[in-house]
Amino acid sequence: MDSAFPYSLFPSFYDPGPPDRNPLDLGGWGKYEHVQPFSVEAGEQQEAELKWSALKSLTQESWEPLEPVAVPLLPAKTVCKFRPVSLEELTYTGRIMTAGERDEMTMGALNFTEQGKARQTAISVNHLRTFTERVKQRECPLSSGSKRARLLNLLLRESVFDIPPNLLAENIHEEMKIQRNKLLFDHSATGGALVYCPFSKGVHFEEGCLIYPGSESMNSLNFRKIKLGLDDDKMPKLSMKFKPVKFKLNGRIHQIDYSTVEEEAYVGVRSDYHCGVWKLSQEVNPSALQVVQMANMATCINVSPHVPGELVIASECGAAYLWILDKGLQKIRKETDNLYFNAQLPWRWCDFTAHPRVYMYADRTGLDLTDVRAGETCNQTLFKIGAAADCQRGERVILPKHLRDVNPYHYLITTQNSAYIVDERFPTVPVLKWVHMMESPPMFAQVACGTVRNRTNKIVLGSQRAQEVLLLQYSGGMQLPCQSFGPPQKLSSIYDMMQHLPVRLPHQHEVVAERLHSAGAGLATLYHCRGKKTLSVFQLSAVGDLFYQMLVRKNSSANGQSVSGASRARVGSNHEPNNSILSKEVQSINHSTEPRLEGAEDLAQGEGERLEVNSSLSGVDEQRVQSFIKQSTNKPSTPSCAALAMCRRWINSFLKKQKKFQSGSDMLHKHSVFSTKRLFSCKRFKKGKESNDAYKEVWDKMKAVMEKKEVLCHSTFPILDSVSVPDLVDPSMWRDELSERLTAAWEGKWSEWWAEKLGVNRDKKIQALRAKRRREKLARAGQRSGLSGSFTSSVSNLSDFSDFSGWSRSSVVDSEHGDYLSGTESNVLSNKSTEVKQSIGTVTEESRQEREVQSNVSVVEQSRTPMPEPILSQEIRLVGIPKERKRILQNYLAALEDHPPQPSEGDDGISWSLPLASSTQMSFAEPSQMASTCEMSWLSSSQSQLGPSQPKKKRARMGF
């Protein structure tokens, strides 16, 4: 019967009080702890019946992983947008030196050899004055990296800071400490955000729903059907073929809990300030039912296993509520202080108990049972940190869990050191205790129970930071007292995958390692106890990766660990099968292995690897190695091909995502500069001098030239033979494809050439053209009046060709447009030119106020010929240019005016526009071939588009 209480419990001392001094931390190895006899009723005689059984029994179900590592369940979906700060970085202990403390600074005054430094450390009073004037304005007057800022900082010290540096430093220290503690332990993830909800179980298959958060900020809730079946080799296999149902929430999901009541699963989801409920069943897709918002940070959500649609939630202020769907919240309890001693910790937890109206309320100091029927006073201690539970000092409750399906009277409680099973019928004294020996406290736990009586229940504990997974087994709690089975077993952690991966580039390796090291966020188990027994463990990491590992029950050696009474008898039978496999595999080792075929194959591989590992260790006794190999292969140590493929797939997907993201962020830092300062150092030449006289000569000459501050060329440095510059190659001479490609490559347009050639960018080009046209059309209306402005900007805006072309194109568009209105282009265009003139007039009117340009403007106004008008507009534009440069520009433009190009009316405006374009682009260098070709090509392309109307258009421009 389910409700039976063990008739005889294991003996133990009871000592209520604070915990003792911490004993030596030895872990829970090699201890029976307590023992009691059980008389087995079958036998006649007393002696045969009596069997002693220990609290920590040695017998155990032996579970072996199918793969030596946890395998990714899904390809990576997210990428971290920034590099997470590591624990080591936050725990720097070296002395942080401020500039003032630096030794060189104090020495500086006496060290005359470093007088040059004075220049570096001095700052002009003018700067100081402007700075102090500007410092009243809120924005920072200096860029932080500048030398001047550093110097000012040294000089002014604390006087200019809003927050005194000492205080600021203290606060930063504090913040770092908080961040570090958060990295070590973040209580918001307690309970875990991953659950597996089984729907139907058959002998060889099982179907259920995996509920997990996804996306970068872990705010999308995924419901995904998964199926456990057998593959062709009769090995259990998970299939994830179904599409997930997704819900987008507006907060990071911290905890997911579910309960199946009356064949409908209720799923509670907790984020920082919201809790929500979903309902699903095998047939019906999940649907959101209700959401509540909390004023304080929510710390817990649990779904009732008794009554459908009931949940409990707790928040940091210490309040716990019963949440009945459609009825709202009902306060169960509120405690402002901690339960058993003043630990001043805000974390609270609550859960259901065996009685639907009694609730468990917990904080870091212990657990309490609250009976809401009898009002708030009816509380009973269930567990408290203290000597009764044999706690250590500093131990705190990390995760309490009601073991609903396993035994409704039982609770699993984890602390930093131990895991306890507590029976609510016998409060305060744990019925079972393990020292779990995990590095970081177990924050996630799942307990799976078999269906048969006298089953062993499996506890899987998962920790947050180190992502360890531990398997514990126990039984009892009904007729028989609780007994643990076998020592704890560690399952492989996510990071173990690393050693089986192919070698990658160091930075990729680093990124992958960092990713695999990210904290845990949840743990789920799928225990299939019919047919071939399997235990699948799913792990969720804080960045949203899902991993799983599958364990299978090894049947032959269930009794393997009990020491039989007969002396000299080999204990345990699991060695024999091993040996037979070993002998078998010696033959099979040479065969090309198709892993997953048989356990033996995997074993063979493992053997090989081990051998390699050991032979690589120098100085290891050969015999020892042999014996070691012979004995120590219990497990396959290399993952199967399928598993490796999954791993590789995951890594590739992750690296692809990472790269994509990085290429985006690298755009910002593209212009890296290489220092060539030390490329030809003096030392090298000196070295050369020693070896060869010729070098010395060169060196001396060079030195001489340099002393004279002359340019090192043939005339000043005659030692070198003059090398004639090869003739310029005219690429237009070479018309074959290869040459064209080489030309393109020379100009850095190799990929574009190929794109052009293959027609890859056709669509893109067409689209770009269309978009451009559309844009221009849109811009037309507004630009019409300010056309001259657009033109001038195209000239002064030094390299901006597109605007220029845009202008000309827009005029074309306009002309097309004009077709509709009047029909004759020339007419329209001439109209247009007058319009432009007028607009320029207005601009000049406006700019007359500008004193600097005024004279020029008047000049322009006097000579109002069509020709110099562009210059006028140029001058208007000069307003924004620094004085010195303005002068140069003006000179240049004046020169242009003196020798205007002689365009023939019939010839086009190209030659006219050329100097303008080249002057702007090539910064007053003589118009080079290159620029002109560019110009040419642009013009030719525009020509092709202009078609027959082109000459007229040019004339229009001449009209200026």
Partner 1 sequence: MSTLKAPCTMTPEVVSVSACTWEVNGRLPGNGTLPGARGCSGLSWFHINGELKMDDEVAELIEERDHSTDEERAWTSSSHSEIRLHLPTSVLQFQNVKDGKQTGFRRTAQTCLNRIHKAVFHHQWHTAAELMPNYFQILEDNTTRKQRSAGQVIWRMGTAILQHHPNSCIEDINSFAGKMKSIGVKHYLKVCLEYAIHLLCNGKMDEAYRELSLAETWRYGEQSASQQKVLKLIQGYRALIDYYTWVKKNSGVQERGDDAVDSGTAQEMHNYFRQASIGLHDAVQNPGVWDPFILSYVNLLDFYDGFEEALKVLNNYAYDSRFPPNPNAHVYLYEFLKKHGTSPKKLMKVLRVLYQLVPSHELMLEFNSLLLESKKKKHHKEALGVLFCLLDFPTWKENYSTWKCLTKQMKHAIAEGHSDWIKEQWELRQDWWPAFHFSEYRAHKNFEENESYACRKAMIAGILMGKGCKYFIIVYRLGRKVQKAKLKKMRQYVKDHSLLQLSEC
For position 469 contacting partner 1 by CB under 8 A, the verdict is: no
Binds partner 1 by CB under 8 A, chosen from 201, 227, 635, 689: 635
User: How far apart, in whole angstroms, are the C-alpha atoms of residue 557 and residue 546?
Assistant: 32
Binds partner 1 by CB under 8 A, chosen from 41, 42, 46, 125: 46
Q: Which stretch binds partner 1 (CB under 8 A): 42-50, 279-287, 686-694, 771-779?
A: 42-50
Total residues binding partner 1 (CB under 8 A): 121
For position 283 contacting partner 1 by CB under 8 A, the verdict is: no
- The distance from CA 576 to its chain's CA centroid, rounded to whole angstroms, is 48
Q: Which stretch binds partner 1 (CB under 8 A): 89-97, 205-213, 799-807, 839-847?
A: 89-97
For position 458 contacting partner 1 by CB under 8 A, the verdict is: no
Q: Which is nearer to partner 1, 122 or 169 (CB)?
A: 169
Binds partner 1 by CB under 8 A, chosen from 120, 121, 556, 564: 564
Binds partner 1 by CB under 8 A, chosen from 128, 176, 449, 698: 176
Identify which of 380, 383, 402 has the alpha carbon closest to the alpha carbon of residue 391: 383
Shortest Cβ 178–partner 1 spacing (Å): 6
Tokens of 652: 């590739």
Find the length of the chain: 960
Q: Which is nearer to partner 1, 398 or 646 (CB)?
A: 398
For position 47 contacting partner 1 by CB under 8 A, the verdict is: yes
Strands annotated E in 376-455:
379-384, 397-402, 410-415, 418-423, 432-435, 442-448
For position 617 contacting partner 1 by CB under 8 A, the verdict is: no
For position 567 contacting partner 1 by CB under 8 A, the verdict is: yes
Residue type for 200, please? S
Q: Is the dihedral of CA 104, 107, 113, 117 positive or negative?
A: positive
For position 560 contacting partner 1 by CB under 8 A, the verdict is: yes
Binds partner 1 by CB under 8 A, chosen from 132, 296, 428, 793: 428
Q: Are 347 and 335 in contact (CB under 8 A)?
A: no
For position 41 contacting partner 1 by CB under 8 A, the verdict is: no
- The distance from CA 498 to its chain's CA centroid, rounded to whole angstroms, is 18
Q: Which stretch binds partner 1 (CB under 8 A): 171-179, 311-319, 522-530, 705-713?
A: 171-179
Shortest Cβ 154–partner 1 spacing (Å): 23
Residue type for 225, please? K
Shortest Cβ 706–partner 1 spacing (Å): 46
For position 500 contacting partner 1 by CB under 8 A, the verdict is: no
Q: Which stretch binds partner 1 (CB under 8 A): 115-123, 388-396, 655-663, 746-754?
A: 388-396
For position 54 contacting partner 1 by CB under 8 A, the verdict is: yes
Site for partner 1 in 341-380 (CB under 8 A): 345, 347, 354-357, 364, 373
Site for partner 1 in 95-134 (CB under 8 A): 95
Site for partner 1 in 716-745 (CB under 8 A): none
For position 419 contacting partner 1 by CB under 8 A, the verdict is: no
Binds partner 1 by CB under 8 A, chosen from 108, 251, 531, 572: 572
Q: Which is nearer to partner 1, 221 or 354 (CB)?
A: 354
For residue 631, CA distances in Å to 48, 372, 559, 615, 635 come to 36, 59, 19, 16, 11
For position 248 contacting partner 1 by CB under 8 A, the verdict is: no
Identify which of 833, 909, 162 has the alpha carbon closest to the alpha carbon of residue 171: 162
For position 307 contacting partner 1 by CB under 8 A, the verdict is: yes
User: How far apart, in whole angstroms, are the C-alpha atoms of residue 426 and residue 413?
Assistant: 15
Q: Is the dihedral of CA 715, 716, 722, 727 positive or negative?
A: negative
For position 426 contacting partner 1 by CB under 8 A, the verdict is: yes
HEC assignment per residue over 34-50: CEEEEECCCCCCHHHHE
For position 82 contacting partner 1 by CB under 8 A, the verdict is: no
Q: Which stretch binds partner 1 (CB under 8 A): 2-10, 134-142, 147-155, 812-820?
A: 2-10
Beta-sheet pairing, 546-554 with 71-72: antiparallel
Angle at 38 between CA 34 and CA 43, to 5 degrees: 155
Query: In 12-26, which positions are buried (b, 16+ CB within 10 angstroms) versus exposed (e)?
Result: eeeeeeebeeeeeee
The DSSP H or E segment spanning 852 is helix 851-862
Binds partner 1 by CB under 8 A, chosen from 155, 571, 589, 914: 571
Matching residue, tokens 């002693």: 52
Give start and end residues of each alpha helix (H) in 291-390: none
Residue 210, C-beta contacts closer than 8 angstroms, at least 6 positions apart: 194, 195, 196, 197, 222, 223, 224, 225, 226, 524, 538, 546
Binds partner 1 by CB under 8 A, chosen from 205, 242, 628, 685: 628
